[in-house]
Structure 1
């Protein structure tokens, strides 16, 4: 089984400014060994390590972690300034790193929701496509229409939507999120992560509240284009690792477990993961 979205960070590196406004439990170092320990009760055997700060230094850091723990880190999603004049050269250099599978600008942190449609960013997206990497969309519902246009303009660009674009489950803001997500799912080059939902749910963290959102993701994309991620350690402010996995497992039909919890991630990121060869199916951990 593959965790398609987890983080590590080292506070002393100094570029995790966003943590200042987060739960105090997150304001400490988190390592791959911590992630392994959190997942001990589960059948997770490998994961995709996603950058947690929009800096070049962070990208180098997570790549170094992957080099140190290649048996656990199946792929790395880094960051690059896609609007920079030298974005294409930066992308080309990073693409040479053997574990790099994608790049993630922080749409959710930008003031202009149309940023991803600007000509300068288009050049960066073209470079990602040419390098055969994933464009990882850290988006909110407001960005879904913009991502529809990105997918239309660049049908060869592989797009992964993080956290189902963070629907406001706490306020039960099902629409227009659901309709916009379905429109985006019409593009065959887009896949969606079943991750990050608990931290958008406020007090509504029970399976019943999450069900319509999970069902919408599965119905829109189909299990072959949905991949599960823990969003660890962020998820720990709401639930422990095993509890979130158990909730996700209960919400995904058993016939779709293999796809959502393993093979969709392999396909989306084109992973080579020997560590999952002897895995236990997720339904067996319930």
Structure 2
């Protein structure tokens, strides 16, 4: 089975500006390089990885592409483009599509002061260009509230593939009402067949990120499996943020335990097949990743 980690980060403050990175993120408030993640990936028998943008600038994208060129395990890069500047989006997409590693686009929605930004006409024009180019959009959020925009976006852009990062940050460790609200919002998004989700970044919603347990995460994964089905879910290890939540091995083992009751084909979908199909990962790059993994 080919296991794809569909959500992994690298960053280097010497190569790009990361405005959110500071002492509060210690000990990952430094350059985090792919070779540091490799041992954990190999222990988990992860075959391939998709790098996901960590800053809204071209320099971060170029840094990821350089990492991808040097490491065969990296089979995809979710890049950044300035969605609210359609002319620049078109030009940037033409340049990025020359690299087979570029498989999607993301912007840090949760870092924007305007929570309605993604529904505005300028961002909408950018999303339309993504749909035309056949590139999906990673939908980032630090709380479930932003999920309310997804049904509208799915209707406006019916051919645009969307993936909700980290299941929309469910209230792990929260109360019954919080879970009900999260489920209501993500269920509305899941009604649209082009919307997918990542089983990733499922940490405590309050207090230290590591204050979570598999049993606390279980109901959210079960809800996601019910609402999306395994064919629209994909695994993401969220390295190096996962280091702040108990480590990559802990999150990997938790996901494996939660998926264990599924039939083999359903587990395979969440652990790799969905990501390969959704991101349209290049078969040649996947083969190279398998060879590198031994």
TM-score, shorter chain, exceeding 0.5: yes
Partner residue, 2:274: 264
Partner residue, 1:254: 262
Cα distance per residue 1:126-154 (max 9 Å; x no partner): 11111111111112311212111000111
Partner residue, 1:197: 202
Partner residue, 1:284: none
> What SS is found at the alignment partner of 1:198?
coil
Instruction: Check 1:220–1:207 CA distance in 2 against 1; reply closer, same or farther (3 A cut).
Output: same
Instruction: Check 1:14–1:158 CA distance in 2 against 1; reply closer, same or farther (3 A cut).
Output: closer
Cα RMSD (Å): 1.9
Cα distance per residue 1:203-241 (max 9 Å; x no partner): 641111111111111111000100000000000011121
Partner residue, 1:182: 187
What is the distance in 1 between the residues matched to 2:107 and 2:202? Answer: 20
Partner residue, 2:246: 239
Partner residue, 1:81: 82
What is the distance in 1 between the residues matched to 2:24 and 2:276? Answer: 31
Instruction: Check 1:200–1:6 CA distance in 2 against 1; reply closer, same or farther (3 A cut).
Output: farther
Number of corresponding residues: 279
2:69 maps to 1:67: yes
Instruction: Check 1:279–1:90 CA distance in 2 against 1; reply closer, same or farther (3 A cut).
Output: closer
What is the distance in 1 between the residues matched to 2:240 and 2:190? Answer: 28
What aligned pairs does 1:62-211 form with structure 2 within 5 A after superposition?
Answer: 62-69=64-71, 71-86=72-87, 87-139=89-141, 140-172=143-175, 173-198=178-203, 200=205, 202=207, 204-211=211-218
What is the distance in 1 between the residues matched to 2:271 and 2:79? Answer: 22
Partner residue, 1:283: none
Per the normalisation by structure 2, the TM-score is 0.89
Conserved? CA contact 1:95–1:133, under 8 Å: no
What is the distance in 2 between the residues matched to 1:158 and 1:28? Answer: 33
Per the normalisation by structure 1, the TM-score is 0.92
Cα distance per residue 1:226-265 (max 9 Å; x no partner): 0000000000011121221110111123312111101011
What is the distance in 2 between the residues matched to 1:147 and 1:88? Answer: 23
User: How many Å apart are 1:279 and its aligned residue?
Assistant: 8.1
Segments of 5+ residues of structure 2 without an aligned counterpart are none
User: How many Å apart are 1:21 and its aligned residue?
Assistant: 5.2
Conserved? CA contact 2:7–2:200, under 8 Å: yes
What is the distance in 2 between the residues matched to 1:62 and 1:199? Answer: 28
Conserved? CA contact 1:51–1:59, under 8 Å: yes
Instruction: Check 1:59–1:14 CA distance in 2 against 1; reply closer, same or farther (3 A cut).
Output: closer
User: How many Å apart are 1:175 and its aligned residue?
Assistant: 2.6
Cα distance per residue 1:158-177 (max 9 Å; x no partner): 11111111123243421311
- 1:217 pairs, out of 213, 224, 227, with 224
